[in-house]
Structure 1
Amino acid sequence: MTEEEWLDGLRHLSPDMILKTHFSLQEQIKKHYKLRADPKHLKTAISLCEQQIALSPLAIDALKQNPQMYSKGEFFAPSHHGYRQYAVILRRQKEFDKLDTIERKMKSEGWAA
């Protein structure tokens, strides 16, 4: 299944459900990354980052529907934990091509750095 096919299966969710999923993934990333000394937890953290990043186009759209994300009519995007955490992991693993790809994706979606 491609990322786009996976996203298509989630597009029917309400903005609230998308954000609930987004923040649930964030908490799971934090939990597993703290235990990263165990390779199993690091692998899980990476997988969760990839899932949250895949969900990110829907999450940013859901945030844009939230009036609390606006100040004086202007949308202010937050940073994205999955992107940030995955970037740290990729730097440590010296996977700079993959790092460049996710950084460009993050910027194109409008997340804060």
Structure 2
Amino acid sequence: MDRFSSQIARISSMSHKEIVDLHFALHTEIKELYKPKKHPERINDVKLLCEKSVAISAIVINSLKKKHRAEADEYARLFGKLSPLKFSYPAHAPANTLCAILRKQGDSSQADYIERKMTSEGWGTGRYVDLLDL
């Protein structure tokens, strides 16, 4: 858990690829820890990691877009034509996990706030963005 804190502390100096990798490392760690029937004592650790993931979500979505744009530019360089792939806003599993935990703990207002934040950033909307808009 401390390794995530130190990485998040230096997020402003990370490349877009490193930021995306950090996001997925957090996601993987949360999935490993979040088995409430087997390990209910880990719920606070899961909640903390989810909160960290939600806190950096705006930076992560921007990095995902920039990474997609860089890959599309590489495609154009290699094949001499625009990439046919569009950027699609993905779901944010740690935010969904955190909202589920908060609702179980009776904190629906905080869960609602997080859901609004994530939607305003585009997470989970399934919207597509044209390359020219990245």
The reply to whether TM is greater than 0.5 is yes
- The answer to whether the 8 Å contact 1:36/1:42 transfers is no
Question: Could you tell me the TM-score, scaled by structure 1's length?
Answer: 0.81
The gaps in structure 1 that reach 5 residues or longer are: 1-6
Q: Secondary structure at the match of 1:27?
A: helix
Residue identity opposite 2:19 in structure 1: I
Among 83, 99, 102, the residue aligned to 2:111? 99
Distance 2:32 2:119 in 1: 26
Q: Tell me the CA shift for residue 75 of structure 1.
A: 2.7
Q: Distance in 1 between matches of 2:86 and 2:121?
A: 16
| Aligned residue runs from structure 1 range 58-69, under 5 A | 58-65=59-66, 66-67=68-69
Q: Provide Cα deviations, 1:66-96, integer angstroms capped at 9, x if missing partner.
A: 1469x85743110001111011111111201
Instruction: Tell me by how many angstroms 1:8 deviates.
Output: 7.6
| 1:1-12 to 2 correspondences below 5 Å | 9-12=10-13
Q: How many residues align?
A: 107
Extract structure 1 runs of 4+ deviating beyond 6 A: none
Residue 88 (structure 2) pairs with residue 76 (structure 1): yes
Other-structure match for 1:21: 22
Which of these two proteins has the greater Rg computed from alpha carbons? 2
Quote the Cα distance in structure 2 between the aligned partners of 1:49 and 1:34. 14
Percent identity at matched positions? 34
Rounded to whole Å, the distance in 2 between the matches of 1:78 and 1:24 is 16
User: Which residue in the other structure is 2:33 paired with?
Assistant: 32
Report if the CA contact (8 A) 1:49-1:86 is conserved.
yes
- Alpha-carbon offset, residue 37 of structure 1: 5.0
**Separation of aligned partners in 2, 1:8 and 1:33:** 24
Whole-angstrom distance in 2 between the partners of 1:79 and 1:40: 27
1:90 counterpart (90, 102, 113): 102
Unaligned runs of 5+ in 2: 1-7, 73-82, 126-134
